[in-house]
Structure 1
Amino acid sequence: MPSERYQVVHVHHLGRAALWMATAATGARFVYTPHHDPALLDPARHGDRLRARIRATQMIAARADAVVTLSAIERETLRLHLDCSPAKMHVIPNGIPAQIFFPADQHPVLGPTRRARLLYVGQLIELKGVDVLLRALAQVEDVELLLVYQDATLEATFRALAADLNLGDRVQFLGIRSAAQLADLYRQVDLFVLPSRSEALPSVISEAMLSGLPVVASAVGGIPEQVGEYGRLVPTDDVDRLATALRSTILELRANRIDHAAIHAAAVQRFGVATMVERHLQLYRGLLAAGETPARRRIRYGPANAAARLALRTVGDRLTGRGLLERDLPRLVGMS
């Protein structure tokens, strides 16, 4: 519950807490991180049924003192949808613990006779483009693919596709791995690949780069600025371009032209936990130093805030951990 005990309240994701703070008359500065709400970043894919989520996020962003996005492309995309001045939007990538994800002392040498080992970490769902990856793999010789995932929705489908493509033992469906096991896998493979159809700033790419791996990934969301010069980007759903990028990167690996230490150093600078923490602290200090009264305390917001809080108590038992159910949102955002 909002309280005068706090100077700054930082809420992540669309849900009850974000709506409570957006309508709270406390003096606390309110920071909001939407975390790549697909309704905002890709409305054409999700349709009108998520319009209420967009309206709710617009209200929250308008009342927030600062909005944090994970990448510059996410910031620019959200600016098209939110009633939010550019001055209060801040880009702070997620931090990844470098004490867990780091290169091997001696990175595996990809000799001329050894198969290149590719690693995919994600979910076995349509959005991640694993079908495209399997079809590209069929065009690249002397390569094997390791798949790590929690959501196995399409595992049977992808196993059947791998069989149809005659990939045989070149694809391993590994399933769930702990953080420590995954860190070891990063140090054992040669290349990380993520052919997603939509992303924000995927942590698995940061983990791979911290492990010193070159990356081949789709040019979507914040991935281009995340990968930078340490990988190859391809269009979504382009099997041929993905196969070409894999072959080119493997040739560089065989020629020992990949600087694994440089990839790791760049990732620590961009995505280290210390960097993320310090940038958040700078944001909080700046908000407090400005000394401005939170916009949501303005008198004209009073009646709407009171009505919204009453509605929140009414529908609160139907709120999910991932955000508001679509049927509940219109009752709230109509009062803003």
Structure 2
Amino acid sequence: MSAVFAIPGDKDQRTGGYIYDATVLDLLNQIGCPTAHLELPGSFPNAPAHDMETALNALRAVPASTPVIVDGLALGAMPPEGVASIAAPVIALVHHPLGLETGTDPARAQDLIRNEAAVLEHVAHVIVTSTHIGETLWADFGVSPDRITVASPGFLRPMTGSAPVSPPLILSVGLLSSRKGHDVLISALAQIADLPWQAEIVGRPQDPNYTAELQSQISNAGLANRIQLRGEVDGAAIEDAYRRASMFALATRYEGYGMVLSEAMLHGLPVVSCAVGAVPETVGYAGRLVPADQPDAFAAELRTLLEDPDQLAKAAQASLEQSAGLPSWHDTTRHFADVIKRVAESLAPPFPFGPTK
């Protein structure tokens, strides 16, 4: 039993989706499911015609007997007829549908949703990273539940304890894109400037204009000495940031899962976020959630935690308790191996939202 994993661009990028893909690829090979890496052009989802044809030709070259996992960042943007021309059985990996990306022009979003729904008609199976995404594909994209498997991200337990700094560090980790809502967080922080705190926003810049807007927003609020945009950092630096933090804040506008939320809970950090997408599913009772795009409500939650040590301690304990049931990366990878095996054997038993034991 062998497979191919097609990923657009550099698989070693430090974002949640790429960390997920690279980790699963590595572990599939470790657990006895040989899986070759196929790097597709990095221009997806807005690939020009040449890159699109390059990607499709690479996928057409995969033998018909070899299942090929294709990350949805590329697959969802491909023409349905092109996907239909791939001889190998395709396993779609959907982190979140492309048309649900915040800030996408409404007409473009609808085109992406229609295209991705049509593409998914031509795949052998669909792996999603959360029950929320599985339900979305079922309800809005017409994917039958028996063709969907949830493989939630896995996690490693922290190797070191916490060492909060003073003043308290409010940490946010996420791509510098509109969807992550860092602008909302900055607006909320401006409302609690009377309290002692410092903040770090860690994440790779995606849109230079948005990054410049964030920097300008920080400067205009008079918070340049309190809020740091750190950009992309390595794993050790992120671990150090979690260790130094007193709480985690992500004013996201949508998450298909939200790996950083679980990572924060593993480190015992109280979580303030928004009740969108898979966030309620991810954080459970541990999260303090407000509606998206509501900086006043977000600021109120931050203020409560900063002003009330008992509330902060209870929220930290809730995070640790909620994180106790998180899967390991081996759990995640076994779901993939199970799907690969069944697709390779051309078996399709009823399989709603998760593999059999």
TM over 0.5: yes
CA distance in 2, matches of 1:255, 1:266: 16
Change in CA separation of 1:139 and 1:54 when aligned onto 2, cut-off 3 Å: closer
CA 1:21–1:171: 2 relative to 1, 3 Å:
same
Equivalent residue letter for 1:229: Y
Q: Is the 8 A contact 1:11 1:17 kept in 2?
A: no
Match of 2:197 in 1: 143
Residues paired across the two proteins, number: 282
The 3 A distance-change label for structure 1 pair 55 and 166 is closer
Cα separation, 1, equivalents of 2:294 and 2:309: 23
| Correspondence for 2:242 | 186
**In the alignment, structure 1 residue 237 sits paired with structure 2 residue 237:** no
| TM-score between both structures, scaled by the size of structure 1 | 0.72
**Structure of higher RCO (CA pairs closer than 8 Å, 6+ residues apart):** 1
Shift of 1:230: 2.0
Of 94, 97, 104, which residue of structure 2 is paired with 1:37? 97
What does residue range 114-153 of structure 1 map to in structure 2 within 5 Å? Answer: 114-140=166-192, 141-151=195-205, 152-153=208-209
**Counterparts of 1:220 and 1:175, CA distance in 2:** 24
**C-alpha displacement of 1:226:** 0.7
Higher Rg:
1
The 5-angstrom pairing of residues 3-82 of structure 1 reads: 3-6=63-66, 8-13=67-72, 14-15=74-75, 22-26=84-88, 28=89, 30-39=90-99, 41=100, 45-82=104-141
TM superposition shift of 1:240: 1.5
Q: Which residue of 2 aligns with 1:247?
A: 303
The gaps in structure 2 that reach 5 residues or longer are 1-60, 350-357
Partner of 2:279: 223
Letter in structure 2 aligned against 1:23:
S
- Aligned residue for 2:154, secondary structure, equals coil
**Shift of the alpha carbon at 1:206?**
2.7
Q: Which amino acid aligns with 2:239?
A: A
Aligned with 1:169: secondary structure?
coil
Q: What is the SS of the residue equivalent to 2:272?
A: strand
CA RMSD of aligned residues (A): 3.1
Alpha-carbon distance change, 268 to 287 in structure 1, aligned in 2, over 3 angstroms: farther
Instruction: Note the C-alpha offset of 1:175.
Output: 2.4
* Shift in alpha-carbon separation, 1:236–1:260, aligned structure 2, 3 A: closer
Following superposition, the deviation at residue 43 of structure 1 comes to 9.1
Equivalent AA in structure 2 for residue 135 of structure 1: S
Q: Deviations over 1:262-313 (max 9, x none)?
A: 74574364242122112223333444567359xxxxxxxxxxxxxxxxxxxx
Question: What are the superposed Cα offsets for residues 234-265 of structure 1, whole Å, 9 maximum, x if unpaired?
Answer: 11111121011112333565666247577457
Q: Among the aligned pairs, what percent are the same residue?
A: 27
> Which amino acid counterpart does residue 213 of structure 2 have in structure 1?
T
Q: State the Cα deviation string for residues 187-210 of structure 1 (Å, max 9, x = none).
A: 111111110222222222233223
Counterparts in 2 of 1:43 and 1:216: CA distance versus 1, 3 Å:
closer
Deviation at 1:103, TM superposition (A): 6.0
Match of 2:163 in 1: 108
CA distance in 1, matches of 2:111, 2:261: 31
